[in-house]
Structure 1
Amino acid sequence: MALRLGLGLPQTGTYDLSTDVTAVARAAEEAGYDSVWVLERIMRPEQPVDDMYLIPGQRWSEYFRSVSDPLVTLSLAAAVTERVRLGSAVLVGPLHQPFLLARALGSLDAASGGRVVAGLGTGWSRDEFAAAGVDYASRGAALDELLDVCAAVWGADPAAYEGERTRFTPSAVGPKPAGRIPVLLAGGTDRALRRLVRRADGWLPSLVANDQLVATRARIAELAREHGRDPADLTITLRTFVRVTDRPVDGKRRPYQGSVEQIVDDLASAARAGVDEVLLDNQLTSGDARELIETARLLREAATEAGL
């Protein structure tokens, strides 16, 4: 199967959200992208408890100062497209009240004709958890409960659930999703991968090198067989951050940073590593929506010409 390509929607404060989200979503569909994606970041603390992504010494990115709500952004994209899937990479599941998030995702799927892909993660910022009034230490259990609640809310009525954060008696809960919403999970620890093979449809890594992709894919396959699942049923969707340069970057370079031809080579390498879909996010390196769209079109055309 051909490598699928997704495009990150503009969410940061450098864009005009009243016009740019819909413009990029339309352009992505017209250019032949398979999906459009959002991220979630709710704040940029001035004195953060944790370094960014828990990497020692890593400063929080300036774009965290303003990131639009992911579900609002996807709703805007859904209203002006007909084909592209609508994905999150990722929603920080524990920051949300499970019942309300499950209903919102179900409603968006119904409204879009069954195009939602729910990418979820546990999160890493204790500042964000404090702002949301959620216990950071219980984030894994909170994600498990969210998955349970989604299964109940998206399933047949009457739906019911009783857990730590969510309790509801047998009830009719609608609208139901138009189809089965695929669930992708982030995280690469063995515990996270075990949750993935038990509960999800695929893995959603970010900025992961090909050798790690190959090793983790092998581990996912091993765990899937232990749980009686076909490894082929579990997909890998890789999130990347793209910077396109006018000339090839010489010497050592980061993947997806370089000329269009170099980035296409990176896509081919990802496909050989077993990746099913690559999310190209160039919003942080584009000056405006017009540049974002033009770069996205160049990459899609070059990938097609390369047989990807």
Structure 2
Amino acid sequence: MPVSLGLGLPQMKQYDIGRDVATVARAAEEAGYESLWVFERILFPEPATQGLYGIPGLPWPEWYRSVADPLVTLTLAAAATDRARLGTSVLVAPLHVPFQLARSLASLDVASGGRVIAGLGTGWSLDEYAAASVAPFEKRGAVLDELLDVCAAVWGPDPVSYEGELTTIAPSNVGPKPVRPIPVYLPANSPRATRRLVDRADGWMPVAMGPAQLAEQWRQIQDLAAQRGRERPIEVCARVNAEYSAKPFQGEGRQPFQGSVAQIVEDLVAHAGTGVSEFMLELQGTTRDAAELVDVAAEVYEAARAAGV
């Protein structure tokens, strides 16, 4: 059975979100994409106090200089589409007040007719944590755990009540409620994160960096799920950070999903046998504008389906 294919929506500085989000969302849905996705980056420190992903010396990419708010972007896409699921890959959970984020996701789910997927992570930027002022970086795992608790409470039946480190909800009616339980997808970048995924999430959101690595990570998660007695299946939505170029990448050192449409599709085929149920294609960083993003996304979709993905 073919895997699902999703597309990242235009949020970066080369796009006009007031016009381009709806245009790309409609075109992607018409092309056949089953889901539309956003990511979160709230600032671009200058000079950077740490490298990209916290790696010393690794520069931040230029396209991070301006990234549109993810939930605003998804709201625009929801209004322009009818069928595509609407996901976050990912929201940096500890940058948000848990109660407010739970309500925003529920409202978006209602507005979209039950299409939201909540991909949540903890991020890595110390500057973003300082700017958001919700909790210190050292508390990131605990804040994500509390957010998951608050979402379960807020999305559940009234009266809602909760007592946590950041959040106190007196017995209250809190609405609107999601159309259906909103699926929660989490990463698994550490032993604690993997346990959280197995115990609490509906899906796993890895970054596709090579089929052997992805298959081994998936095997480890399945082993842990069996050890902990999980019976529900775990969905796997792999994020593809593509570096598209009109011409094929030549020479040594090509990274996964780097190069032409044919090379990107070749890598999708290689990763498709690893247990992935969905690929989320991020193409916006290396396309010039919405017109090129629409064209490349359609070409990738058609070629991937023709290749059996």
**Cross-structure match for 1:120:** 120
The unaligned stretches of length 5 or more in structure 2 are none
Alignment of 1:157-196 (within 5 A): 157-196=158-197
C-alpha distance in 2 between matches for 1:199 and 1:49 = 33
Deviation digits for residues 5-53 of structure 1, max 9, x if unmatched? 1101000111111100000000010000010100000001113332110
How far off is 1:189 after superposition?
1.1
The unaligned stretches of length 5 or more in structure 1 are none
**Cross-structure match for 2:104:** 104
How far off is 1:299 after superposition?
0.5
C-alpha distance in 1 between matches for 2:7 and 2:13 = 18
**Cross-structure match for 1:224:** 225
Q: Which runs of 4+ in 1 moved over 4 A?
A: none
**Cross-structure match for 2:152:** 151
Secondary structure of 2:87's partner?
strand
TM (norm. structure 2) is 0.96
C-alpha distance in 2 between matches for 1:143 and 1:212 = 26
8 Å CA contact 1:243–1:285 kept in 2: the answer is: yes
C-alpha distance in 1 between matches for 2:260 and 2:12 = 24
- Range with greater deviation from structure 2 (177-186 or 247-256): 247-256
How far off is 1:281 after superposition?
1.0
How far off is 1:207 after superposition?
4.3
8 Å CA contact 1:121–1:187 kept in 2: the answer is: no
C-alpha distance in 2 between matches for 1:199 and 1:157 = 21
1:40 maps to amino acid: E
**Cross-structure match for 1:137:** 138
How far off is 1:215 after superposition?
1.3
Alignment RMSD, CA only? 1.2
**Cross-structure match for 2:273:** 272
**Cross-structure match for 1:12:** 12
Secondary structure of 2:17's partner?
coil
**Cross-structure match for 2:21:** 21
C-alpha distance in 1 between matches for 2:194 and 2:186 = 8
Deviation digits for residues 186-235 of structure 1, max 9, x if unmatched? 2421111000001101111224322221111111111111221137x112
**Cross-structure match for 1:33:** 33
C-alpha distance in 1 between matches for 2:202 and 2:157 = 20
8 Å CA contact 1:98–1:149 kept in 2: the answer is: yes
8 Å CA contact 1:117–1:184 kept in 2: the answer is: yes
How far off is 1:4 after superposition?
0.9
Secondary structure of 1:46's partner?
coil
C-alpha distance in 2 between matches for 1:117 and 1:285 = 25
C-alpha distance in 1 between matches for 2:280 and 2:67 = 18
Secondary structure of 2:198's partner?
helix
8 Å CA contact 1:243–1:258 kept in 2: the answer is: yes
- Range with greater deviation from structure 2 (49-58 or 169-178): 49-58
8 Å CA contact 2:269–2:308 kept in 1: the answer is: no
8 Å CA contact 1:45–1:127 kept in 2: the answer is: yes
**Cross-structure match for 1:202:** 203
C-alpha distance in 2 between matches for 1:181 and 1:83 = 16
TM (norm. structure 1) is 0.97
Alignment of 1:247-286 (within 5 A): 247-250=247-250, 251-286=252-287
**Cross-structure match for 1:66:** 66
C-alpha distance in 2 between matches for 1:30 and 1:137 = 44
Calculate percent identity across the aligned residue pairs: 56
**Cross-structure match for 1:288:** 289
8 Å CA contact 1:90–1:186 kept in 2: the answer is: no
2:146 maps to amino acid: E
C-alpha distance in 1 between matches for 2:248 and 2:103 = 46
2:141 maps to amino acid: G
1:145 maps to amino acid: E
C-alpha distance in 2 between matches for 1:219 and 1:238 = 16
2:40 maps to amino acid: E
